[in-house]
Amino acid sequence: MPLPTSAQKILARIAVDDGAIADAARRRAAESQELTRQEFEAVQEFQRLAKADKDSRLVREDRQTDGDGNISVVKERDTARLGAASEAVDAIRERKALLAATTALPRLTAARIERELEQFKGKKLVAVERPPVVLGKSERTVDALDRLRAETLDLIAERTAVAKAPHTAAEVKAAAHGEIDKLADRLPRTFAMFHGASITWPQHEIHAARTRVPDALAVVAFLMRDQLKREISKLIDFNAGAFPEAMSREDQAERLAKLESEIEVAERLEAAAVETVIAEGGVGHHRPDCSVLAVLSLRVE
Is the Cβ–Cβ distance between 160 and 263 less than 8 Å?
A: no
pLDDT at 110: 96
Based on the domain organization, do 3 and 100 belong to the same domain? yes
What is the DSSP secondary structure assignment for residue 138, as one 8-state letter?
T
pLDDT at 118: 93
Closest CA to 120 of 233, 21, 7: 7
Q: How many other CB atoms are found less than 10 A from the CB of residue 83?
A: 12
User: Which residues, 6 or more positions from 189, have their beta carbon under 8 angstroms from its beta carbon?
Assistant: 199, 200
Provide block-wise average pLDDT over 10 residues at a time, the chain (301 residues).
Answer: 90 95 92 96 95 89 72 80 95 94 88 94 92 94 96 98 97 96 88 83 79 86 94 96 95 98 97 96 94 96 86
pLDDT at 210: 78
Burial class (CB in 10 A: 0-12, 13-18, 19+), 222: middle
Whether residue 44 is contained in a domain is answered as: yes
Instruction: State phi, psi for 285 to the nearest 5 degrees.
Output: -150, 155
Counting the structural domains of the chain, the total is 2
Last residue of a domain, one of 104, 124, 150: 104
Reported as type and span, the H/E element at residue 125 is strand 125-127
Based on the domain organization, do 2 and 94 belong to the same domain? yes
Whether residue 156 is contained in a domain is answered as: no
Q: How many other CB atoms are found less than 10 A from the CB of residue 286?
A: 25
Based on the domain organization, do 80 and 176 belong to the same domain? no
Whether residue 232 is contained in a domain is answered as: yes
Separation of alpha carbons 204 and 201, rounded Å: 10
pLDDT at 204: 82
Closest CA to 131 of 299, 14, 270, 263: 270
First to last CA, the chain: 12
pLDDT at 44: 96
Domain that includes residue 15, residue range: 1-104
Cα 18 to Cα 2, 104, 111, 255, 276: the distances in Å are 22, 11, 9, 37, 20
Which residue type, as a one-letter code, is found at position 296? L
pLDDT at 191: 82
pLDDT at 197: 84
